[in-house]
């Protein structure tokens, strides 16, 4: 079934799905419990001590993701994301004051949440941080750990925000930023993608919305933000660093404590046209996995289709939608599977394991994938090992991101009778 639903606001999207409305909940663990309990329902609640609602689990499945994107299958979703990344378009500009009003809030008025007992503090997980330098802007997800009423520590990995922050540091300056909370889900999907440096994710989101996104520039630092956003925090990433973590990451493993930049709050703005609401992305749950992994899966599919006849790709749920991939190909000649393995590691450098199967295997069925390995794989000729390669720091068995990678060719050998490799149908 093809979904062609393009709602006009965040609340329109929330109302598309089954919503479970809770009473006021604690900042400690309750959103994690509720999101786990209610499965594919969107959880909506007010957090004790804050002035806003929170929602969780909007993207609870691939089907929900397709509905938000207005497509019906993987390939259509991949193409929509890739086309937008390759052809971004600048949105219409609006007056900031027409959409937002300044409020005298502290960070404790925002629903910072403790998701797991191991977490080192209270966090924002749905925070999209926007920063600009010269003519380059970037929007990307970064978790924020509550420090005091007017500051938080921000986890920054060595990607585009880190590059902008480093450039300001070299000039002896703090980095102006806007923190976008409770925004359009297409903006979130675009912000979770990885276009080249210099391609602004809001321009990507605008293309995905058929030029329906509108932006405004913040009063203090003139940062372009989407007007369909519940709350904007404006401030600076200081040259000062403080401890951040531990924090439960996408693999449901505690990420280590480390020194990270400090965010200093200067102004809070709430939208005049919508109720204040913040996205609480529960770490390690399906919504986290899809937001982080699906845009990367699209890029992986794009890389693979240039070298083999690829049917389907999955970044597996068990690996956090990040470390392991299953690739289904229409094998034309010996060597196709090995080419697919090498292309997969190129298309997604964080990959640790990739299994390549034939197009008769359902890659969403782990039993079928295991059956293919059991019947079509021989380690002496079908195993690819790449020792001591750069991978993901999410893998706790590695050493600062240096890992061993493995590819498994579980495709049928073409020099043997085909009937040897087909499962007998139930009569």
Nearest 5°: phi and psi at 11?
A: -65, -35
DSSP-derived secondary structure for 1-35: -------SSHHHHHHHS-EEE---B-SBSHHHHHH
Q: In 305-400, which ranges are continuous DSSP H helix? A: 336-347, 366-376, 379-382
Please give the full DSSP string across 128-161, using - where no structure is assigned: EEEEEETTEEEEEE--EEEEETTEEEE---TTHH
> Parallel, antiparallel, or unpaired: how do β-strands 123-124 and 151-154 relate?
unpaired
- With residue 284 as reference, give the H or E element that holds it: none
249, 336, 382, 395: which is the annotated catalytic residue? Answer: 249
In this structure, the number of other CB atoms found within 10 A of the CB of residue 274 comes to 16
- Output DSSP code: residue 212: -
Please provide the DSSP assignment of 60-122 as one string. Answer: -SHHHHHHHHT-SSHHHHHHHHHHHHHS--PPEE--HHHHEEEE---GGGS--BB-STT-SS-
The residue to which tokens 């909007």 are assigned: 58
| Residues of the chain by 3-state class (helix, strand, coil), percent to 5 | 30, 30, 40
Pairing mode of beta strands 383-390, 402-410 = antiparallel
Give yes or no for a contact between 343 and 299, defined as CB atoms under 8 angstroms apart: no
Q: Note if 249 is an active site residue.
A: yes
Q: Which residues have CB under 8 Å from 339's CB, separation 6+?
A: 307, 308
Which three-class secondary structure state does DSSP give residue 283? coil
Catalytic residue ranges:
249
């Amino acid at each position: 079934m093809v979904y062609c639903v393009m709602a006009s606001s965040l609340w329109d999207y929330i109302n598309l799905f089954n919503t479970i409305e809770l009473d006021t909940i604690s900042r400690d663990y309750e959103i994690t419990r509720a999101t786990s309990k209610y499965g594919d329902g969107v959880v909506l609640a007010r957090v004790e001590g804050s002035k806003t609602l929170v929602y969780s689990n909007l993207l609870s499945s691939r089907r929900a993701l397709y509905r938000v994107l207005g497509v019906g299958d993987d390939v259509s979703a991949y193409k929509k994301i890739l086309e937008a990344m390759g052809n971004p378009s600048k949105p219409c500009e609006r007056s900031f004051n027409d959409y937002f009003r300044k409020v005298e809030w502290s960070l404790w008025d925002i629903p910072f949440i403790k998701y797991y007992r191991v977490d080192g503090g209270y966090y924002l997980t749905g925070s999209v941080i926007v920063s600009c330098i010269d003519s380059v802007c970037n929007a990307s997800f970064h978790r924020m750990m509550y420090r005091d009423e007017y500051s938080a520590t921000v986890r920054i990995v060595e990607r585009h925000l880190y590059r902008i922050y480093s450039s300001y540091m070299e000039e002896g300056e703090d980095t102006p930023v806007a923190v976008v909370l409770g925004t359009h889900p297409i903006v979130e999907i675009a912000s979770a993608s990885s276009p080249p440096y210099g391609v602004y994710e809001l321009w990507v989101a605008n293309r995905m919305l058929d030029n329906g996104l509108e932006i405004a520039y913040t009063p203090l630092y003139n940062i372009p933000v989407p007007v369909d956003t519940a709350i904007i925090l404006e401030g600076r990433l200081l040259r000062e660093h403080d401890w951040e973590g531990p924090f439960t990451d996408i693999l449901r493993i505690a990420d280590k404590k480390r020194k990270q930049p400090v965010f200093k709050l200067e102004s809070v703005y709430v939208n005049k046209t919508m109720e204040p609401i913040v996205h609480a992305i529960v770490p390690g749950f399906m919504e986290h996995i899809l937001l982080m992994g699906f845009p990367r899966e699209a890029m992986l599919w794009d890389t693979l289709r240039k070298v083999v006849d690829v049917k389907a790709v999955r970044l597996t749920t068990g690996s956090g939608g990040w470390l392991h991939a299953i690739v289904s190909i229409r094998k034309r000649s010996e060597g196709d599977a090995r080419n697919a393995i090498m292309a997969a590691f190129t298309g997604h450098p964080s990959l640790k394991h990739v299994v390549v199967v034939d197009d008769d295997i359902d890659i969403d069925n782990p039993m079928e994938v295991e059956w293919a390995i059991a019947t079509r794989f021989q380690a002496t000729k079908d195993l690819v090992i790449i020792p001591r390669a750069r991978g993901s720091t999410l893998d706790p068995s590695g050493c600062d991101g240096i890992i061993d990678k493995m590819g498994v060719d579980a495709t049928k050998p073409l020099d043997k009778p085909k009937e040897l490799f087909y499962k007998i149908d139930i009569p």
